[in-house]
Amino acid sequence: MRTMSGDQVEAAVASCTAALRTAVDRDWEAVDAAGLDWSCRTTALQIAQAVTKYAGQLAARAPHRLPLNLTLPEGTDNAGLLQVIEATGALLAAAVRTAPPGVRAFHPYPFGSADREGFAAMCVTEALLHTHDITRGLGLPYEPPADLAASALAWLFPHVQPGPAPWPTLLWATGRGELPGRAPVTDWNWYNNLVIPTERLVLTGIRPAAADDLRLGGTGGFDWLDGGPYEGTREACSHLMKAYEAGVHRPEFGVFALVRPEDGRAVGGIGFHGAPDDERRVEIGYDLVPGARGNGYATEALRTLTQWALDRDDVDTVIATVERDNLPSQHVVGRAGFVRATVEEERTAQDTYDMDAGLLLYLRR
């Protein structure tokens, strides 16, 4: 699995400061960073300011934006600014390492919060991209370690189709470069994963980095009850990775781990089979590890995620298919508000959407 931790924070900051230290005697204020309205010095300060805010938000577990800002004493030279970047990177690395799994803090885009991996990934992305902007402005060569760019893409850009090499792909995805066969990017943002709380669970969006590990038999970074997810979750992650590799993955319509806040254990998976179709329908599926069954977790998760989808403007109907002899799952969908489709609706699903004749179709609108 592509890791994202304090180690990656430190590596990104080291890559940044090593590149900029070669031009520490230049006038950074007199030169604009490439593609930005900021000077090279202001852009370097932006790295330190952003990382300071990330460290503060995560360390405080802040549910809102903290009134944090970093300013430099008058007379601070470029060498001093680089030391500040190193110091703020160390602070964030420590905050990431000491934050328990699943802890989140406020970040506005796109779903209102980020976890420790998200804050680490945002730091890596800020450091790499703004170092690129500064070095281009100063006329210096710069290419960070490929594994840092690859990790940033896998953790923070789940909507971006992987390219032939991670660094050019990250530059293209952020409007800083071109990729053969792809249109230029003029508007971009990153994606922290979506989390949706229920009464007893947190539905935690699974990123491509974690999904890739899960499909290959790993844990995806989760502490699973009974030693691992049920096979359906691994299969769902395989479908997620196919969509990601094809460039059609929509993170909010991906796969979620069912995590119990009381002990941090993952007890199952739930998710969509893809984005809504032209008829504004989306299919949902779920499973639980055997030791978690019989507690109502599946019903709770299914009811919550279905309602989340129906509250959107692009979904009118959520569908679920269940094997004819799977009575427990039929009871779950019924308790979650789904109703059995009519014979005509099932026949249409079989003829038009290749639904297996051995499955029952349930709908919730």
Per-residue pLDDT at 53: 97
Please give the model's pTM, rounded to 2 decimal places.
0.95
Per-residue pLDDT at 357: 87
CB 11 within 8 A of CB 3: no
**Taking residues 269-296, what's their average pLDDT?**
96
Nearest to 281 by CA among 349, 330, 188, 210: 349
Per-residue pLDDT at 131: 98
Beta bridge partners of 285: 271
354: confidence class by pLDDT, cuts 50, 70, 90: confident
278: confidence class by pLDDT, cuts 50, 70, 90: very high
CB 3 within 8 A of CB 151: yes
CA distance 109 to 122: 11
Cα distances from 124 to residues 89, 148, 337, 339, in angstroms, run 10, 7, 43, 47
Beta bridge partners of 288: 268
- Cα–Cα–Cα angle for 260, 264, 268, nearest 5°? 50
Helix-helix angle 40-60:116-138, to 10 degrees: 170
83-101 per-position pLDDT tens digit: 999 999 999 999 999 999 9
Per-residue pLDDT at 320: 97
Per-residue pLDDT at 352: 83
Per cent of the chain over pLDDT 90 is 94
CA distance 103 to 256: 16
CA distance 198 to 188: 31
Per-residue pLDDT at 74: 95
Per-residue pLDDT at 2: 81
Contacts of 307 (CB under 8 A, 6+ apart): none
304: confidence class by pLDDT, cuts 50, 70, 90: very high
Tokens standing for residue 219: 């844990």
Structural domains of the chain in order of their starting residue, each with its CATH number:
6-173 (1.20.120.450), 195-364 (3.40.630.30)
**Taking residues 331-344, what's their average pLDDT?**
96
b/e code 291-323 from CB counts within 10 Å (16+ = b)? ebeeeebbbbbbbbbbeebeeeeebebbbbbbe
Per-residue pLDDT at 109: 87
Per-residue pLDDT at 236: 97
**Phi, psi torsion values for 267, nearest 5 degrees:** -115, 0
> 10 Å Cβ neighbour count for 29?
11
What's CA 336's distance to the chain center, in Å? 27
Cα distances from 169 to residues 2, 8, 140, 146, 213, in angstroms, run 16, 19, 20, 11, 21
CB 214 within 8 A of CB 92: no
Per-residue pLDDT at 225: 96
Residue 74 three-state SS: coil
252-275 per-position pLDDT tens digit: 999 999 999 999 999 999 999 999
Check whether 336 has a pLDDT greater than 80. Answer: yes
Check whether 186 has a pLDDT greater than 80. Answer: yes
112-148 per-position pLDDT tens digit: 999 999 999 999 999 999 999 999 999 999 999 999 9
Check whether 1 has a pLDDT greater than 90. Answer: no
pLDDT averaged over every residue in the chain: 96
Contacts of 189 (CB under 8 A, 6+ apart): 109, 110
Check whether 353 has a pLDDT greater than 90. Answer: no
Judged on CB neighbours under 10 Å (0-12, 13-18, 19+), 25 is exposed
State the alpha helices, DSSP H only, in 139-230: 146-156, 166-173, 208-215
Instruction: Name residue 360's amino acid.
Output: L
Residue 287 three-state SS: strand
**Taking residues 44-58, what's their average pLDDT?**
98
**Phi, psi torsion values for 327, nearest 5 degrees:** -65, -40
